[in-house]
Amino acid sequence: MAAAGVVSGKIIYEQEGVYIHSSCGKTNDQDGLISGILRVLEKDSEVIVDWRPLDDALDSSSILYAGKDSSSVVEWTQAPKERVHRGMEHLSSYEAEWDMVNTVSFRKKPHTNGDAPSHRNGKSKWSFLFSLTDLKSIKQNKEGMGWSYLVFCLKDDVVLPALHFHQGDSKLLIDSLEKYVVLCDSPQDKRTLLVNCQNKSLSQSFENLLDEPAYGLIQKIKKDPYTATMVGFSKVTNYIFDSLRGSDPSAHQRPPSEMADFLSDAIPGLKINQQEEPGFEVITRIDLGERPVVQRREPVSLEEWTKNIDSEGRILNVDNMKQMIFRGGLSHALRKQAWKFLLGYFPWDSTKEERTQLQKQKTDEYFRMKLQWKSVSEEQEKRNSRLRDYRSLIEKDVNRTDRTNKFYEGQDNPGLILLHDILMTYCMYDFDLGYVQGMSDLLSPLLYVMENEVDAFWCFASYMDQMHQNFEEQMQGMKTQLIQLSTLLRLLDSGFCSYLESQDSGYLYFCFRWLLIRFKREFSFLDILRLWEVMWTELPCKNFHLLLCCAILESEKQQIMEKHYGFNEILKHINELSMKIDVEDVLCRAEAISLQMAKCKELPQAVCDILGLQDSEVIMPDSDTGEDENVGVTNCLTPAFHSNSSPVLAASGSRDDSPTQLSVSPDVSRLTPA
């Protein structure tokens, strides 16, 4: 019955003869029975429940609108003489439900194009629609009480008029809704169905996430994987499966494989570990050999840095300096200088005078861009939805970025103001990308180190040049990295990969946040400073961060497999590693893996392309660094994987116990970022 004014979308459920009894059930007056159409529709990754009188089916102006801070589409006011409690606890009887209908009135959305049209009999005031993510509970009628009816209660405690099903019962509607949310009986009232019933043993730290029904979370992953990953997976543990199966595990209707499908669908085009792929190059079994022992040194000191600067301020022996930074990082006093070189803000061969001129030029350029958004009037911004959206998202993110760090803690902190201004200015610098959630995490350490708005901006812009693809709408950077990570992990340990696949975890979705913001949420703030500066040297190979992922997963492999972790436990375990990972140990393991691969003479071309290796040679740290190799060195004993001689599949494929082969997709090298 699609018609003008009706909410567009895919119709999941439609039922005529659904009535509101406006006469409160005290008479059989037919004028008190308002006949309408009830629909459930899918629209823009959202499920909408829509009821409207038949008279209004052609007029969208009758749709009610949301109150402030609510995503529901009803705004209600209580009759002044008959105020009642709004909660479901008030609906302890059939009469109470009629009272609620009688004492709640609804206000229409004001019309901007003239006065609101009049409606016959005033019936249109009952129209409503709401998003399924806003539904809190459903109250059902007592058995044997005539027509079946349902009463919807929303999360903001808005209680909608009872809907009476004169032409059939309400079971089909409940069945339709259960495709998207989990419904379970309320412990207090068996007639009440709770939406997404929660496991009471879950930690209170999950409060924000638990506000989301399972369907809502999954739709957010599909619509905005960045937000869902940053906000959702940072708190998720048992939640995903508890929300899918309800309080009773035996009632679980959706297997882990279905949840894995939801997650894989969140990144369209991502296909990892597919069983059948045509046109693969066949490569025989590979023995990676023993993994070497790696040593790390103390951070580069101010004295060592100064020794490598000539009289005009040029950095001497740049390759040697990068190797020293890779092997030990930087002392904090050096970071403000050295990071500008590592990020490409300052050319390595520039003189002090050239850098001074560059800073003047970049300062002018920065403030010109800042003025662009600062000078936008309120009236202009009303007509610029993108700028409004960017500003709103930035303000929200800034207020929750590293607030436990003294540099950003407290109200009206100048550090927060600078974070906001730099991110807004970046929107002017790259308006096509603008702002995407997660970018504030990349900026925060840079501003902390630079303590200067302009320098922090240009270092951030340089870092974003590296990270840009992670935040693009098509997520090509994330797709590529997850495919490459799967290829590397399968080469290192196909047995572990096969285990992950058996638990529907082969897509490595739990690494999404690691890759998106370069481990920012996984290590302590100070450890991130060390980790990032090491990665910025671009040693010992390309995509070293993927080897860091492999190193972390290697350290957790034994526990995951010995304890037979399933989908949910793997997600929970990896998530709980946050702030517990030893940065020096991970760096040792990752470097050792790179050296192990470099020594392999039969490394698959796909892996060589990912790591940027030529003839299986990795850039070896130079031993001639002028340092005492026996002082301040960390020994890292990193045993090789047990499956150095195991069957592997590059990019996609499955284990095959016949003569062991490695399948390499011809598309892998094309997916490798430049």
pLDDT for residue 447: 97
Q: How far is CA 335 from the centre of its chain?
A: 30
Three-state DSSP state, 140:
strand
pLDDT tens digit sequence for 402-444: 999 999 998 888 999 999 999 999 999 999 999 999 999 999 9
Write the CA distances from 420 to 178, 243, 666, integer angstroms.
42, 35, 44
Q: Which fold has domain 302-468?
A: Helicase, Ruva Protein; domain 3 (1.10.8)
Give me the mean pLDDT over the 553-561 stretch: 96
**How many whole angstroms separate alpha carbon 308 and alpha carbon 317?**
7
What average pLDDT does the chain have? 75
pLDDT for residue 6: 52
- Comparing 514 with 655, the larger pLDDT belongs to 514
Q: What is the pTM of this model?
A: 0.60
| Domain limits, CATH 2.30.29.230, in the chain | 10-23+31-55+125-196
Question: Which tokens in the block code for residue 282?
Answer: 């066949």
* Low-confidence winner among 229-233, 383-387, 429-433 (lowest mean pLDDT): 229-233
CB 56 within 8 A of CB 124: yes
Q: What percent of the chain has pLDDT over 70?
A: 64
User: Is pLDDT of 141 > 90?
Assistant: no
Give me the mean pLDDT over the 264-282 stretch: 47
Of the spans 132-141, 582-591, 655-664, which averages the highest pLDDT?
A: 582-591
CB 651 within 8 A of CB 664: yes
Write the CA distances from 209 to 184, 298, 347, integer angstroms.
19, 41, 45
Of the spans 223-232, 270-279, 594-603, which averages the highest pLDDT?
A: 594-603
| Domain limits, CATH 1.10.472.80, in the chain | 476-611
228: left (phi over 0), alpha (psi -120 to 50) or beta: alpha
Output DSSP code: residue 30: G
Q: Give domain 476-611's CATH architecture.
A: Orthogonal Bundle (1.10)
| Domain limits, CATH 1.10.8.270, in the chain | 302-468
The total number of residues written for the chain in this structure: 674
Give me the mean pLDDT over the 549-568 stretch: 96
Helices (H), 503-645: 512-516, 525-535, 544-562, 567-575, 583-599, 605-611
Give me the mean pLDDT over the 82-96 stretch: 37
**How many whole angstroms separate alpha carbon 413 and alpha carbon 192?**
47
Phi, psi of 369 (to 5 degrees): -70, -40
| 449-456: long-range pairs with CB below 8 Å, 24+ | 449/335, 449/336, 449/339, 449/529, 450/336, 450/339, 451/336, 453/366, 453/418, 453/421, 453/422, 454/359, 454/362, 454/363, 454/366, 454/367, 455/336, 455/340, 455/345, 455/359, 456/418, 456/422
Q: How many CB atoms lie within 10 A of CB 524?
A: 14
Question: Which tokens in the block code for residue 43?
Answer: 């629209």
Query: Helices 414-429 & 352-374, crossing angle to 10 degrees?
Result: 90
CATH tag, 10-23+31-55+125-196 = 2.30.29.230
